[in-house]
Amino acid sequence: MQFTESNPPLTPLLRIMTFIEVIVLAAAGIGLFLLPDIAATLWPWELTPFNTRFLGAIYLSAMVAVGVMFRGGRWYPARPVVWTIFSFTAVVLVVSILNTHLFDFSRWGTWLWFLLYIALPVNSAYHLWLYRRVPTNILRPTSSALRYTLLIFGGALGLYGVGLLVAPLTFTSFWPWALDEFHAQLYSATFFSGAFGLITISRATTAGELAGAGVTQGLLGVLALVGLLIVNAQVNRVNWSYATTWLWVGMFAAMALTSLILLVAARRWNQNEAKVQS
């Protein structure tokens, strides 16, 4: 398909799939984070309290990103979101296939899980190919400082994602709660998707893409920390005297800090554009 517009609308198929994603992510995120006892009875596999809240944080932050994409309705700022959807769902699908023995196929949620995680990476890959030749004249080059910030943080997320995949227990040994290989590898998708999203906008982007990435990263960082506090208030298993606990806290606090950098950059870009137009 040839695109002549600098910022073409999303295809009807992508709009429909995005709407479905928002609904599913909202239901999963709210259920896991706010109604964990109910969500646990529907989830495709057995969950522990910390994993339940952490998964809720992941899905709520993803809901915001996909919601921004649906509301915008155009390739920019959808571009980095489609990349994150592809990377996240592809990794989750592979990890799920390799661990089917952990899934409860008597629950309808399991069948919905595999249906979505087959359809979503295929759909996002198709649209990445479809929009590959969209004109980029709407994008503005990033400053050197912002570019290196995005590349460094995105690269760190990607490398950690690789670590979670190849040596899951080693790379989660500092987490405040014990993880099994399945959950550690599953969480690698979150770090891969963050890496793809940040690296995609590192060289040239729009204010909308920066703001969307900032809100998503910040929400994940804050909700992960809040979820840890909520669960620990109930079970009291986190040892705050361990340096490793604070390393985990620092990792997600860094996400929140990066989000502030992105949001400030987006605000400045909007202000500069307003001055040019006036």
Exposure of 252 by Cβ count < 10 A (0-12 exposed, 13-18 middle, 19+ buried)? Answer: buried
Token pair 């900032």 is found at: 214
Average pLDDT for 125-146: 93
Paired with 9 in beta bridges are: 74
Q: Please report, as a single letter, which amino acid is at residue 43.
A: W
pLDDT in tens, 161-194: 999 999 999 999 999 999 999 999 999 999 999 9
pLDDT at 129 (0 to 100): 96
Structure confidence at residue 36 as a pLDDT band (50, 70, 90): very high
| CB 55 within 8 Å of CB 61 | no
Intra-chain end-to-end CA distance of the chain, in Å: 36
DSSP output for 91-120: HHHHHHHHTGGGS-TTSHHHHHHHHHHHHH
pLDDT, tens digit, 9 for 90 and up, residues 2-22: 666 789 999 999 999 999 999
- Mean pLDDT, the chain, rounded, equals 93
How many other C-beta atoms can be found within 10 angstroms of the C-beta atom of residue 13? 12
Residue 270 pLDDT grade (very low, low, confident, very high; cuts 50, 70, 90): confident
For 60, 135, 154, the CA distances from 25, given in Å and listed in that order, are: 7, 31, 23
